[in-house]
Amino acid sequence: MDAFIPKCTSLGQLMSDDLIALQEKVAHQEASIDELTRQVLLQERKIAELIQHVKKLQEQLQSLAENNAGVEIIDTPPPHY
């Protein structure tokens, strides 16, 4: 039965232990927030790169469309129709 009784005998020691536990939790949360912030920054950079890539592809597509404006595309159905 004595195993369930806290080994510290003073209220101050109990509060100190609780404070240490809270500090450990805060430290863990700060590390998690730092990692999440790092991931968000990496994603923002990647999104910016992808936006630039899409813009270049749109420009290329527009250029191809303008160069082939006079070309008539005949879409014939396959022979089995």
- pLDDT tens digit sequence for 39-70: 999 999 999 999 999 999 999 999 988 888 77
Specify whether the CB–CB gap between 53 and 47 falls below 8 A.
no
Distance CA 14, CA 10 (A): 7
Residue with the bigger pLDDT between 35 and 3: it is 35
pLDDT at 2 over 60: no
Cα 31 from chain centre? 16
Specify whether the CB–CB gap between 17 and 8 falls below 8 A.
yes
Task: Report residue 38 as tokens.
Answer: 């790092």
Provide the pLDDT for residue 5: 56
pTM score over 0.95: no
Distance CA 44, CA 50 (A): 10
Q: What is the pLDDT of residues 8-39, one digit of tens each?
A: 567 677 788 889 999 999 999 999 999 999 99
